[in-house]
Structure 1
């Protein structure tokens, strides 16, 4: 098998091509990984903690989130698709999803664009904070498509670390124009296009590989080739990747008339000011010296509790239904939720990672 031909994970082949190399990688326990990261002995991208199946309680809370958010998500996917058609008229649209959080959004978008008669292609490409995008995978895309037809997707923006990394990685490609970065929810205002600036309970933000084609987080390679990942065959019976897509697409028929996204410069500037101020408040109040220990936003805060060693979780309100899963997972880990009110607005939750040193 040619390891540079890509694969589709548990998605249909026409929905995505992951430009990653499959490997069997060693399992690094969470506590050991945290120690190695924070002492500088290993970079987070060099290790993988193998995923286990979500608990029945976790899946029930996911189903509740999906039920509550499916109509909004369907509407916003259609709005993003319409906006992309207006911004990139009469040309192919090449979606490059950042693995993994951009992938479910990318699958929904490529299908929506094709249903509108647009020629659209979708690739999953690795990007790693502090190290950059997978340059070899990007060259593979560039050999087949014009760069001006490409847009880069992420599911949401937390504090903007991946956006900054993407901007740095692609500076030579976009020296005098804004990077075409698209997200579903961006409380920081950094995206070129976003459906909203709200921090909301995005259903695909509360699961890992089982809603992302059974693909692991990407891993930095030992050579100059494509980045690595694992395909989690042991989680096949728990996979909801295609069920999730079908559930959202079933909502399209019930949608009212759809208009493009209202993503204005004024809104973006306001969000940038608010999010910067919120993070400054948290940094000051909790003596945070390493911003990598801050995971703002419901999706980032939830995934941090799932994958890292959390110190505390800050929330605006315990009555917020959007934090039920976060509350459940934090309780399992013995981590208290601290109510801080609007200090963290526009974020509804922020996880602070425990210092290992």
Structure 2
């Protein structure tokens, strides 16, 4: 679904800064706030699998997290904030050393947003690099929001060679490939030439351009939805979006009392140190990629999976399935591990089959349930 990019003179009228619950210095979303028609998770799944609607056309209501779940999120943040701070600094040093200032961090909404905000604090506050952070939409099968790219490059006049794409993690590489296709299309039609390198914290599938780690561990922001992402929903692209507008979103104001977006940034930033200079991991990315493909093929055959998009490897992707889709089964490498405690809570709440697979290369894998559509 491509849309004509408006000329620079028309762009300013389309953009109003959207920060959600973030401070503007931490993040600006290039998204259009919409009045949402909410679909139940079950109805949304049926419409997606029947082909009646694309997933990006619909949004579900996000219920408040339980006190137990929020407590688990805080515990995970406490446990991993030092590690995450070091990994953010590792990426920040890599960006500062390889890209000219001013830097424009472009996080992929919504999972990439908290990581982009942390990188912004690392670059501007700790490394004294001129940088700014925006979060924009990219949608599987629909591509990146070119109106947002045009705004950054032409209205905001951010240099193309300083634009850096950021996400929290990668698994099978679907969004990574979507980014590459989108940037190739952009570069073929526009004078501003962009690099398609994706910077991530965790690249468990061996598909990202630059990664701080290849380990599957709990990035705490990955186990919550809007309450750790500025109260902003994932992006929406449907008939409500008019020509010249950015992709859409919903602001979940009913979750404001549960908002931990700013708290999460503060907790991790408190652990940052500009002297944290560690090399990027030297683990062979190709080996991780090959291993992922072997297991995907094995699960497709074993469980009769018809759509590879229904297999979600890694703790973060498995969490997304448990929170936003209709899960069928959950595979765990170690059911006793602290990192997957939240998944066991969610699996019990939803009556999901849990299997122990100790030899797989991920700590968790979730399968989306196939819904009868006829």
Instruction: Say whether residues 1:141 and 2:152 are aligned partners.
Output: yes
Instruction: Say whether residues 1:94 and 2:104 are aligned partners.
Output: yes
Aligned counterpart, 2:204: 187
Q: Structure 1 CA distance, aligned partners of 2:225 and 2:49?
A: 23
Please tell me whether the aligned partners of residues 80 and 260 of structure 1 are also in contact (alpha carbons under 8 angstroms): no
Please tell me whether the aligned partners of residues 113 and 135 of structure 2 are also in contact (alpha carbons under 8 angstroms): yes
Instruction: Say whether residues 1:353 and 2:373 are aligned partners.
Output: no
Structure 1 residue 227, shift from structure 2 partner: 0.7
Instruction: Say whether residues 1:241 and 2:241 are aligned partners.
Output: no
SS of corresponding position for 1:318: coil
Aligned counterpart, 1:289: 306
Q: Structure 1 CA distance, aligned partners of 2:234 and 2:40?
A: 15
SS of corresponding position for 1:269: helix
Q: Structure 2 CA distance, aligned partners of 1:100 and 1:306?
A: 14
Q: Structure 2 CA distance, aligned partners of 1:121 and 1:192?
A: 21
Aligned counterpart, 2:280: 262
Structure 1 residue 177, shift from structure 2 partner: 9.2
Aligned counterpart, 1:7: 18
Q: Unpaired segments of 5 or more residues in structure 1?
A: none
The equivalences for 1:26-37 within 5 A come to 26-37=37-48
Q: Structure 2 CA distance, aligned partners of 1:107 and 1:329?
A: 28
Q: Structure 2 CA distance, aligned partners of 1:37 and 1:350?
A: 21
Structure 1 residue 23, shift from structure 2 partner: 1.0
For residue 330 of structure 2, the aligned residue among 293, 313, 323 is 313
Q: Structure 2 CA distance, aligned partners of 1:178 and 1:15?
A: 23
Aligned counterpart, 1:61: 72
Please tell me whether the aligned partners of residues 6 and 19 of structure 1 are also in contact (alpha carbons under 8 angstroms): yes
Structure 1 residue 178, shift from structure 2 partner: 6.3
Please tell me whether the aligned partners of residues 193 and 263 of structure 1 are also in contact (alpha carbons under 8 angstroms): no
For residue 271 of structure 1, the aligned residue among 288, 306, 310 is 288
Q: Structure 2 CA distance, aligned partners of 1:32 and 1:2?
A: 36
For residue 87 of structure 2, the aligned residue among 51, 76, 79 is 76
Q: Structure 2 CA distance, aligned partners of 1:218 and 1:244?
A: 22
Q: TM-score, normalised by structure 2?
A: 0.90
Please tell me whether the aligned partners of residues 313 and 338 of structure 1 are also in contact (alpha carbons under 8 angstroms): yes
Q: Structure 2 CA distance, aligned partners of 1:183 and 1:334?
A: 32
SS of corresponding position for 1:141: helix
* Change in CA separation of 1:177 and 1:124 when aligned onto 2, cut-off 3 Å: closer
For residue 207 of structure 1, the aligned residue among 224, 247, 259 is 224
* Change in CA separation of 1:107 and 1:178 when aligned onto 2, cut-off 3 Å: closer
Moved over 6 A (4+): 175-178
Please tell me whether the aligned partners of residues 173 and 208 of structure 2 are also in contact (alpha carbons under 8 angstroms): no
Structure 1 residue 158, shift from structure 2 partner: 2.0
Instruction: Say whether residues 1:41 and 2:61 are aligned partners.
Output: no
Q: Structure 1 CA distance, aligned partners of 2:251 and 2:31?
A: 10
Aligned-pair Cα RMSD in Å = 1.8
Please tell me whether the aligned partners of residues 3 and 22 of structure 1 are also in contact (alpha carbons under 8 angstroms): no
Aligned counterpart, 2:6: none
Please tell me whether the aligned partners of residues 111 and 167 of structure 2 are also in contact (alpha carbons under 8 angstroms): yes
Q: Structure 2 CA distance, aligned partners of 1:213 and 1:244?
A: 11
Q: Structure 2 CA distance, aligned partners of 1:280 and 1:228?
A: 35
Q: Structure 2 CA distance, aligned partners of 1:43 and 1:273?
A: 30
Structure 1 residue 336, shift from structure 2 partner: 2.3
Aligned length: 351
Q: TM-score, normalised by structure 1?
A: 0.94
Structure 1 residue 39, shift from structure 2 partner: 0.5
Deviations 1:310-346 (A, max 9, x none): 000011111221110001101100112101121x31x
